[in-house]
Structure 1
Amino acid sequence: MRVAIAGAGNVGRSIASELIENGHQVLLMEKRRSVLKPERVPEAEWMLADACELESLQQAALETCDVAVAATGDDKVNLVVSLLAKTEFAVPRVVARVNRAENEWLFNKEWGVDVSVSKPRLLAALVEEAVSIGDLVRLMTFRQSQANLVEFTLAPDNPHVGSTVDELDLPGDAALVAILRGARVIAPSPADTLEPRDELVFVCHEDVEDGIRRLLAGDEDNGDKSW
């Protein structure tokens, strides 16, 4: 997979390093000469250029990329890069970084964004996840499908401790995708038993989040399910 990343600061370089480690080809675009440091990620292709300029994107052959990532620290720049990548070069997948929470509403399909990653929201979610036991924490939103990645940590006295995965009566638009147990990442099977302080990671539609929250907390009324 070929990936173009606009913005070669700490965020852009970190993304590039991870993708290269996973076997992908990466082009890093940066307009500030002082930030252009190919020695930091020598396996990547580097380009000194303004990703907001159509000519620069043409020189980068953006149409050959499978993914474009707008990773600069400026939301306006990220929106322009996303729009150009999608409308002018038909890049199949456009991912954009959101730096300011108040700008999140702009990062949608009208601006060419398939997936937005909000730094403020992500940091807030990670803080919540670190301190919240017994409550459902939203970690990430998949805008294209209106689904969310959510996490629930089982307190020692949770009624589901000792139950098996197949005993969780989840709604139809929800799936348990991982159990985090200490340093282990467990791909859940129906017979797996839930233990105290297990972190349960779900993908679910936003409409059923409240139902999952009540189910996991032991508050749901089996005679009157909202799903």
Structure 2
Amino acid sequence: MKIVIVGNGAKVNFLADSLLKKGHKLVVINNDLDECEKLSQTKDVMVIHGEGSKKFILEDAGVFGFDLMIAVKSNDPDNLVICLLAKKILGIKRAFATVSNPRNVEVFKKLGINTAVSATFELSSIIEQMAFADQIIHYMPLEEEKLQLLEVVVDKNCKACGSQIMDLGLPLDSIIGCIVRGNNTIVPNGRTEIHEGDKLMIFTNKSSHEATLAALTGGVLS
């Protein structure tokens, strides 16, 4: 995917290393000149020195139509502005942000930001999963991150498409709570067959969400 990261510090290095290993094309916008120089010398990324919350900087970066915007600045309002500009001005459909104040997570989501999390490593994990399973459209940690809710739309390339739930090999602590199929809501059982276009509401423990996604898509997530 084509991904633009706005921010500085160790968070950017962590994300860049993780995403480059997956083969993604990255553009990094960083307002620290020293960090920009180090990034350009050590990583295969385009690095732009500037304040990423400024509209003209984002426009000049040439990231129109990119797949993902990732905002990891330490200031929550800046991250919100960056994500909103990405979606409304740059034509970037998905925007992700880290937040310093966990209370801002719901605010970001209500304003249309696809995912807002309070830990960078969680954001990296989500993005890696989406790079493999494009059908994930929502992710929400529940009960202090012990339980997670995944909302997944099944496409024709998913292993799950055309399979019965009992044949998927889901982890024992993962449950498909309901299926939204068109205008109908289905409470499934083991023999329920999953169709293309189904929206699955899945509850899973934090330790099992990668295995759950792999069982649905047929891929192996690292």
CA gap 1:83/1:177 in 2 versus in 1, 3 angstroms: same
Q: Tell me by how many angstroms 1:165 deviates.
A: 6.9
Which of the numbers 133, 143, 146 marks the counterpart of 1:137? 146
CA distance in 2, matches of 1:18, 1:67: 15
CA distance in 2, matches of 1:106, 1:3: 23
Q: Tell me by how many angstroms 1:64 deviates.
A: 3.3
CA distance in 1, matches of 2:50, 2:104: 25
- TM-score of the two chains, using structure 2 as the length reference: 0.56
Q: Share of identical aligned residues, percent?
A: 21
CA gap 1:67/1:174 in 2 versus in 1, 3 angstroms: closer
- TM-score of the two chains, using structure 1 as the length reference: 0.55
Residue 26 of structure 2 corresponds to 26
CA distance in 1, matches of 2:171, 2:119: 35
Q: Tell me by how many angstroms 1:35 deviates.
A: 3.0
2:70 maps to 1:69: yes
CA distance in 2, matches of 1:18, 1:59: 26
Give RMSD over aligned pairs.
3.8
Paired residues of 2:66 and 2:91 also in contact (CA < 8 A): no
Residue 81 of structure 2 corresponds to 80
CA distance in 1, matches of 2:171, 2:107: 40
Q: How do 1:1-227 residues align onto structure 2 when only pairs under 5 Å count?
A: 1-36=1-36, 37-38=38-39, 41-110=42-111, 112-119=112-119, 137-138=146-147, 140=148, 145=151, 170=175, 171=177, 172=188, 173-174=201-202
Q: Tell me by how many angstroms 1:102 deviates.
A: 2.5
Q: Secondary structure at the match of 2:97?
A: strand
CA gap 1:141/1:57 in 2 versus in 1, 3 angstroms: farther
Aligned residues: 152
Structure 1: gaps of 5 or more residues: 123-135, 147-163, 190-227
CA gap 1:109/1:27 in 2 versus in 1, 3 angstroms: farther
Structure 2: gaps of 5 or more residues: 123-144, 153-168, 178-187, 189-200, 217-222
